Amino acid sequence: MASVIGFPGPHFFLLNSENKLRTCVLQVKSLGGKDSPGLSSESVVLNCASVIEEREERRSVIDRGNESLRLKVKEEKRVEDGGGLESLKPLYDDGYGTVTVKDYFHANKEMIKPDGGPPRWFSPIECGRPLKDSPILLFLPGLDGTGWGLILHHKALGKAFEVRCLHIPVNDRTPFEGLVKFVEETIRLEHSSSPNKPIYLVGDSFGGCLSLAVAARNPTIDLVLTLVNPATSVERSPLQPLFPILAAMPDELHIAVPYLLSFVMGDPTKMATVNIENRLPSSLKLTQMSRNLTDLLPYLSSLADIIPRDTLLWKLKLLKSAAAYANSRLHAVKAEVLVLASGKDNMVPSQDEAERLARSLQNCTVRHCNDNGHTLLLEDGVNLMSVIKGTYKYRRSRKHDYVSDFLPPSMWELKHTCDEQFGLLRPYTASVMLSTLEDGKIVRGLAGVPDEGPVLLVGNHNILGLEVYPLVEEFLREKSIIIRGVAHPLLFWGKYGNLAQFDFLKLFGAVPVAAKNLFKLLATKSHVLLYPGGARESLHNKGEEYKLFWPDQPEFVRMAAHFGATIVPFAAVGEDDMLELVLDHKDLMNIPVVSNYLKDANLESIKIRDESSGEVANVQPFFPGILPKIPGRYYCLFGKPIETKGRKEILKDKENAKELYLQIQSDIENSLAYLIKKREEDPYRNVFDRTIYRAMYHHLEEVPTFEP
């Protein structure tokens, strides 16, 4: 249950999913200057969760044009039973998929009743209690104005944000400039109380225009905008010819409009699959989707109450003025912006508009959702919290920190990544993980890898680093440990870093390779995944599989010793059972057009090592020509852990550090030779043998392998 947080501004109250007001009454100044009922900021207790102690503090005058409104803002100090969580555990339950579109309609039943009040904020109880020092997230709704458009994401976002949603009553006729000032007042007050924290604005459709307008007027405030199918392109909407018809339509026919709009604005099938497990058999998924669609249809009639005829006509006029206002001020937007654009948006040309905004705004990232409609936030497959994490937009201070701002993946995120991005890799490769105990015995599983950090996992790359995901997944499933990989900066910055294909790396904890990042990770007792051979090994030439290409200097040994980290060397084998390398770097450089392209790309690449690093220094990025094989199997062997605790002074000596460095190399080479030899004894190395085994013993999760 969320605790009440006194919130400065007109109307703030706390709601549960049934829209029952859970607060006392406080008289505050509304937009019109009249007293309006809101939330009491007197000391209250909700389910014994919190007690609010208040102290009053005067704030500066907020300019309102012809008048000024002096607000006496009350700063609350929460005394809670344990307060917010310090951190989230890997594979936590983010709650995504437990709420459906039916809950959206249920939540709106009480909300849409006329109360004569102005726009206001509410905080859904489902959001719960966020992490300590979490930033605030303000949701600005679309044309419905209810504020419940984020309901599918309340639980997930509530883990990391203080979520507040804007409610614009059905009969409210506040002009766009008035709404801008209302939101602007809120962010200025929040900024004055927490100047070093970012303020997040999530704008859905019309709310996207509102977010941009507020950002343009407040360039000095640290804002992070997420625009979901922003309606800045409403003038290019394919529905433009229908708008005059809606105005002339008799009241008797208006009841049919919500049904039509529901199919134009959203994808009913995506709405109906929100709570369906992706791994169910197709027949069961189809049956459940059909049932959900049937249950959903009766609720569509309530859209006529959410957006009555007069309100719809007013909102369409408001939408045009909002788009014009926002578009005329794009040049003034300094905020960090993330645009989510649907591929099946029949309301506005969202994907074209996203590209236009990316060109017009100074700091804009775009993510395309090709299978979704206009009501993206009410449809399946898009977990907003995951998108924010995967694009590195989540931070709790002015500058993003790769270590302190990282949130571990949830169980939903692990399942979704397995199914959507690596759906075939896990069952077809059936990776075998082996580890070495203290007595030298090799066992299946990760029992030989220490649970307590700091731990530095040092190993060899396979082609394209395809061994990384099975390795990360196995640590999560067996030990509930997230391993933080250090990767090439190209995957985080520049044109490559902006590609959605690499979002999963950020979601699962990868950081750019840099001494300061490795330092922070070891200082926080993390499990760190390091490939000294880096891009040179993952982009090797023909005949170089399983060959180590390490720098001349022991770059990581002394840092590991500084923190007393345990070094675990490991070897990974299997690329030659999966892929055939057809064109390597030498072959591509012999093709004139491709050669010129690679040379130009190399000029823009990020240099991470100097020439003294040997052959591994500054490898030119490229994508090799590969062909798939009939899948074999990946094998990974973690060697005997090497303790550096208590050896800090010894390893300060370069010769001693070099000796340990060479020992680690030798251990990995010996493990590679061991795996290459032992895999010949695996009766299930071939995918066909594994498939037959699973058909006969499907209840067993692990397919057997050779005896270590």
Query: 483 and 367, same structural domain?
Result: no
What is the rounded distance in angstroms from the CA atom of residue 660 to the CA atom of residue 561? 11
- pLDDT number for residue 268: 62
- pLDDT number for residue 137: 98
Query: 482 and 606, same structural domain?
Result: yes
- pLDDT number for residue 306: 77
Query: 445 and 341, same structural domain?
Result: no
Helix locations, 334-410, DSSP H: 350-360, 384-390
What is the rounded distance in angstroms from the CA atom of residue 171 to the CA atom of residue 177? 17
pLDDT at 437 over 80: yes
Q: Out of 220-234, 319-333, 423-437, 653-667, which region has the weakest mean confidence (pLDDT)?
A: 423-437
- pLDDT number for residue 273: 66
What are the b/e assignments for 392-424, b being 16+ CB within 10 Å? bbbbbeeeeebbebbbbbbebbbbbbbeeebee
Per DSSP, the three-state class of 692 is: helix
Query: 372 and 234, same structural domain?
Result: yes
- pLDDT number for residue 661: 94
Q: Out of 133-137, 228-232, 512-516, which region has the weakest mean confidence (pLDDT)?
A: 512-516
The model's confidence at residue 71, banded by pLDDT at 50, 70 and 90, is very low
* 342 beta partners: 369
Query: 386 and 441, same structural domain?
Result: no
What is the rounded distance in angstroms from the CA atom of residue 297 to the CA atom of residue 301? 8
* 570 beta partners: 459, 638
Evaluate whether residue 49 is within a structural domain.
no
What is the rounded distance in angstroms from the CA atom of residue 118 to the CA atom of residue 139? 17
pLDDT at 608 over 80: no
- pLDDT number for residue 294: 63
pLDDT at 81 over 50: no
* 200 beta partners: 137, 224
* 364 beta partners: 337
Evaluate whether residue 31 is within a structural domain.
no
pLDDT tens digits, one per residue of 354-371: 999 999 999 999 999 998
What is the rounded distance in angstroms from the CA atom of residue 115 to the CA atom of residue 123? 18
**Angle of helix 309-327 versus helix 176-193 axis, rounded to 10:** 60
Query: 641 and 533, same structural domain?
Result: yes
- Looking at residues 430-446, what average pLDDT do you find? 95
What is the rounded distance in angstroms from the CA atom of residue 483 to the CA atom of residue 508? 8
The model's confidence at residue 113, banded by pLDDT at 50, 70 and 90, is confident
- pLDDT number for residue 585: 81
- pLDDT number for residue 479: 95
204: part of which helix (H) or strand (E)? strand 199-204
The domain tally of the chain equals 2
- pLDDT number for residue 433: 96
Query: 466 and 353, same structural domain?
Result: no
* Residue 252 CB coordination number (10 Å): 7
Most confident of 82-86, 426-430, 517-521, 540-544: 517-521
Strands 62-64 and 67-69, bridge-based pairing: antiparallel
Whose structure tokens read 């005058």?
61
The model's confidence at residue 291, banded by pLDDT at 50, 70 and 90, is low
- Looking at residues 35-56, what average pLDDT do you find? 32
Question: How high is the mean pLDDT of the chain?
Answer: 81
DSSP string for residues in 407-461: -PPBHHHHHHHHHHTSTTHHHHH--EEEEE-TTS-EEESSTTS-SSS-EEEEE--
What value does the CA radius of gyration of the chain take, rounded to a whole number of Å?
A: 28
CATH number at residue 269: 3.40.50.1820
The model's confidence at residue 28, banded by pLDDT at 50, 70 and 90, is very low
> For residue 684, how many C-alpha atoms fall within 13 Å in the half-sphere facing its CB?
19
pLDDT at 14 over 80: no
What is the rounded distance in angstroms from the CA atom of residue 10 to the CA atom of residue 31? 7
**Angle of helix 468-479 versus helix 411-420 axis, rounded to 10:** 150
Whose structure tokens read 């019309």?
206
CA distances, 665 to each of 179, 548, 659, 671 (Å): 63, 8, 10, 10
What's the N-to-C CA distance of the chain in angstroms?
Answer: 50
The model's confidence at residue 106, banded by pLDDT at 50, 70 and 90, is confident
The model's confidence at residue 272, banded by pLDDT at 50, 70 and 90, is low
pLDDT tens digits, one per residue of 556-590: 998 999 999 999 999 999 999 888 899 888 888 88
Evaluate whether residue 231 is within a structural domain.
yes
What is the rounded distance in angstroms from the CA atom of residue 444 to the CA atom of residue 432? 8
- pLDDT number for residue 653: 85
The two tokens of residue 422 are 């690596």
CATH number at residue 623: 3.40.1130
Output the pTM of the full model: 0.83
Query: 530 and 386, same structural domain?
Result: no
Segments of 278-384 assigned E as strands: 336-342, 364-369
- pLDDT number for residue 613: 53
Which tops the pLDDT comparison, 255 or 96?
A: 96
Evaluate whether residue 75 is within a structural domain.
no
What is the rounded distance in angstroms from the CA atom of residue 29 to the CA atom of residue 299? 36
pLDDT at 127 over 50: yes
Instruction: List phi, psi (to 5°) of 442.
Output: -95, 130
Which tops the pLDDT comparison, 592 or 444?
A: 444
Query: 255 and 127, same structural domain?
Result: yes
User: Across the chain, which distance is largest between two alpha carbons, in Å?
Assistant: 89
pLDDT tens digits, one per residue of 392-426: 999 999 999 999 999 999 999 998 888 777 766 77
Evaluate whether residue 287 is within a structural domain.
yes
What is the rounded distance in angstroms from the CA atom of residue 558 to the CA atom of residue 653? 9
Which tops the pLDDT comparison, 671 or 74?
A: 671
- pLDDT number for residue 590: 86
DSSP string for residues in 120-134: EEEEEGGG----TTP
Evaluate whether residue 7 is within a structural domain.
no
CA dihedral 63, 64, 67, 73 (to 10 degrees): -60
The two tokens of residue 362 are 């100074």
DSSP state of 619: P
Evaluate whether residue 623 is within a structural domain.
yes
Query: 558 and 440, same structural domain?
Result: yes
- pLDDT number for residue 21: 38
pLDDT tens digits, one per residue of 141-151: 998 999 999 99
Which tops the pLDDT comparison, 393 or 696?
A: 393
The two tokens of residue 169 are 């009553």
The model's confidence at residue 69, banded by pLDDT at 50, 70 and 90, is very low
Query: 477 and 365, same structural domain?
Result: no
- Looking at residues 12-26, what average pLDDT do you find? 41
Query: 470 and 366, same structural domain?
Result: no
What is the rounded distance in angstroms from the CA atom of residue 652 to the CA atom of residue 130? 43
- pLDDT number for residue 86: 81
Which tops the pLDDT comparison, 671 or 425?
A: 671
* 167 beta partners: 120
Q: Out of 513-527, 546-560, 605-619, which region has the weakest mean confidence (pLDDT)?
A: 605-619
CA distances, 478 to each of 19, 48, 471, 704, 705 (Å): 41, 36, 11, 17, 18
- pLDDT number for residue 480: 94
The model's confidence at residue 250, banded by pLDDT at 50, 70 and 90, is low
Structural domain harbouring 440: 431-682
Residue after which a domain boundary falls, among 390, 422, 446: 390
Which tops the pLDDT comparison, 639 or 692?
A: 639
Instruction: List phi, psi (to 5°) of 85.
Output: -65, 145
